[in-house]
Amino acid sequence: MKKAFLFPGQGSQKVGMVHDLYEKYDSVKKLIHEADDTLGFSISKMMFEGPDTDLMKTEFTQPAILTASVAVWKVLKEQGIEPDIAAGHSLGEYSALVAAGAMSFADAVNTVHLRGRFMQEAVPLGEGGMAAVIGLKPERIVEVCKEVSEETCPVQAVNFNCPGQVVIAGAAKAVEKACKALKEAGARRAIMLKVSAPFHSTLMEPAASKLKEVLDHIDIHDTFIPVVANVNAKEEMKADEIRKNLVEQAAHPVLWEESIRNMIEGGVDYTVEAGPGTVLSGFMRKIDRSIPCHHAEDLATLEEVVKALKGE
């Protein structure tokens, strides 16, 4: 069996995540205290108590989800369950890289906190937007976005998640105009998302430049298992390429469906979504239902994964 761990991105956060793991496992308690100490504020309080309005702020969401995801990975590792390959959706790529030995947890949690801040600073609140487009071919979505961009402001396809779902992002008025044009082009739905910035669009280039300065000053190592990069859907293990890919990722599309298909082609026959929520499990079912995908986020779901993989 070739196992892939998949790590979730922004939008999977929820108040109370991994609290039961924190209470049971000393390793999780130590990890979350490390996050608090590294960040200089209590991310654990936001994770466990909220309020939701704080947890939804990008600069807090990103370190919170990373901390929760790495906590789940740590517990699975203690149970003898480790991935042969890993991938993470957007922010989740940092969780995957921690699991693969590319960077320390402390460096990762600090970097994604700054990443979230840089992304929010790049486009003032209300000036950027994102929308999920359902039921239209990716090629047509790209074409429509290009037409709208030429007429108004930048908008582009940024998350190629699974068959039938692509997310677009850009200037708010351009995204709204693109939604209308995409429905006219045959999309079943085009739904504006409640997000604070147009992630992975070209409008994030100022954030990518600032992120590069941070990444240039932290230790990144070759990995001991491959991590599939969002920007090119290819397996990567070399530190220099990882650093470059993370900078590019901030202002380039996430090729998630292609990443999953490439892993399956490479022999992956079992996946575990490690972290809060079941978004990636949902994508997985739409990409290839024949590949089992368990999710692990709390004591109950972790126990199910351990039983499934150990045949207990």
From 90, 149, 201, 259, active-site residue: 90
Comparing C-alpha atoms, which of 209, 10, 240 is closest to residue 113?
10
Rounded mean pLDDT, 168-183: 97
Rounded mean pLDDT, 157-174: 97
Residue 125 has pLDDT above 90, yes or no: no
**Pairing label, strands 293-296, 128-134:** unpaired
3-state SS, one letter per residue, for 73-100: HHHHHHCCCCCCEEEECCCHHHHHHHHC
Cα separation of 261 and 233, whole Å?
9
- Average pLDDT over the chain reads 96
From 89, 200, 252, 295, active-site residue: 200
pLDDT of residue 196: 82
pLDDT of residue 186: 97
Rounded mean pLDDT, 73-89: 97
Rounded mean pLDDT, 172-198: 95
pLDDT of residue 39: 98
pLDDT of residue 295: 96
Confidence of residue 135 (pLDDT cuts 50, 70, 90): very high
| 290 tagged catalytic | no
Cα separation of 55 and 259, whole Å?
28
Sheet strands (E) in 163-292: 165-171, 189-192, 227-228, 235-236, 270-274
| 33 tagged catalytic | no
Confidence of residue 168 (pLDDT cuts 50, 70, 90): very high
Residue 129 has pLDDT above 90, yes or no: yes
Rounded mean pLDDT, 247-270: 97
**What is the SS3 assignment for 18?**
coil
Q: Which helix (H) or strand (E) holds 293?
A: strand 293-296
Q: Which residues of 198-235 are buried (b: 16+ CB within 10 A; e: fewer)?
A: bbbbbbbeebbebbbebbeeeebeebebbbbbbbbbeb
Cα separation of 59 and 43, whole Å?
11
pLDDT of residue 195: 84
Q: Which residues pair with 129 in a beta bridge?
A: 170
Confidence of residue 183 (pLDDT cuts 50, 70, 90): very high
Domain architecture of the chain: domains with CATH:
3-122+203-310 (3.40.366.10), 128-195 (3.30.70.250)
pLDDT of residue 64: 97
Rounded mean pLDDT, 70-94: 97
Rounded mean pLDDT, 240-246: 98
